Amino acid sequence: MYKRQDIDIGGKIKGSVELTEPLGLFSVIHVKIREDEIRVVTNSSSSYVKGDTIQLAISGNKALFFDESTGELIT
């Protein structure tokens, strides 16, 4: 689980833009990575459109990992 602010544009994780929501001072970009969708908050000058490829980076020290079978936090 990540806070949207812990995800940055420009990294090694490749995804596809599903939707861009311009919200004034910032935009929310919906990105599909395999079967998952995440949202990235970026400045309003972002020009991504549906179908664009985007590369992301996630701050490793802020990542939380969960056991898929139990749902428990892995520490």
Give the model confidence (pLDDT) of 40-69 as tens digits.
888 777 789 999 999 988 776 666 677 878
CA distance 33 to 73: 22
pLDDT at 1 over 60: no
CA 67 – CA 74 distance, rounded (Å): 6
